[in-house]
Structure 1
Amino acid sequence: MTTTRIKAPTTFWIVAVLSLLWNAFGAYDYLMTQLQNREYLGSMGQGFGLNADQMIAYYAAMPWWGSVFWALGVWGSVAGSVLLLLRSRFAMHAFIVSLLGLVVTLILGFVEPIPGQTDMTLPIIFSIILLAVLLALISYSRRMIARRVIA
């Protein structure tokens, strides 16, 4: 049995493209960190009073399962955005996988914060924003499935 899709409204395309742009930054951050880009990690570490070597050491010490869940969070969202653009119902599933990865990664980040990080205000705010955007994308995908915009 096939489900017929209706014409996607302009707002759908705007949300889908913004979703991909938002998640592309997460992919960039993940790649720069995994590739141990000294310039990127050095600039990121400045906020914590750390240099590139200290940031590289922090991420290198991350447990393997932490890296796996981080990858699920990042690449699940990228896949969800691409699937949304392709108008596939599996976009919602990819975003849910991403949510699992994000939640585990956030817990790990709070249990083992970056050395020298004493003020958790910014990480908490950023975590809330990440969760809110991802939950909104899951909800939006679900609504678009119900409306038959994606199938």
Structure 2
Amino acid sequence: MVSIMSDTRSGRTPWHYWVVGVIGLLWNSYGPFDYTMTQTGGDAYLRGVGMTDPQIAYLHAMPVWMTGVWAIGVWAGLLGAILLLARRRLAFPVFVASLAAFLISLVYSYGLSNGAAVMGDTALIMNGVILAGCLFLVWYSRMMAARGFLR
């Protein structure tokens, strides 16, 4: 019986590797786009994606260190996806860095600020989806490195 997680003895990269890699790249491309547009497009961009005035004010009040954490999270996610597609072991620690930055952003949003109240239930659901994606990519890149698919 052939396993879905075939090993290096077969000499072939499993089909799911490319599916996860491409979906990971597409998924992790939005964060840097959103970050860049938020930084350069200003309020017009934020209103265009449906944010309210209190939500926009919340983003403007975010401390500089939190903006840095946000940047690390999204750019590391994109780099991790590129490294995964390039079959590099470095994908795993880069995905871990992205996850760590996201977890810090959750602590800020839900523990150190009024982000939960301002951003609402939709943001809570989206943060759950993002967390699941981060955890999956950390697990998957670790597993692919352990199986010898990443160099």
Aligned equivalent of 2:23, options 18, 21, 25: 18
The count of corresponding residues between Structure 1 and Structure 2 is 142
Residue equivalent to 2:73: 73
Matches within 5 A, 1:2-151: 6-46=11-51, 49-50=52-53, 55=56, 57-110=57-110, 111-113=112-114, 117=118, 120-151=120-151
Partner SS state of residue 117, structure 1? helix
Letter in 1 for 2:42: N
Instruction: Give yes or no for contact 1:69–1:101 (8 Å, CA) kept in 2.
Output: yes
Seq. identity, %:
37
Please identify, of 132-141 and 28-37, the stretch whose mean Cα deviation from structure 2 is larger.
Answer: 28-37
- With the length of structure 2 as denominator, give the TM-score of the two structures: 0.82
Separation of aligned partners in 1, 2:63 and 2:149: 40
- With the length of structure 1 as denominator, give the TM-score of the two structures: 0.82
Letter in 2 for 1:82: I
Separation of aligned partners in 2, 1:115 and 1:88: 37
Unaligned runs of 5+ in 1: none
Measured after TM superposition, the shift of residue 95 of structure 1 is 0.4
Letter in 2 for 1:137: L
Unaligned runs of 5+ in 2: 1-7
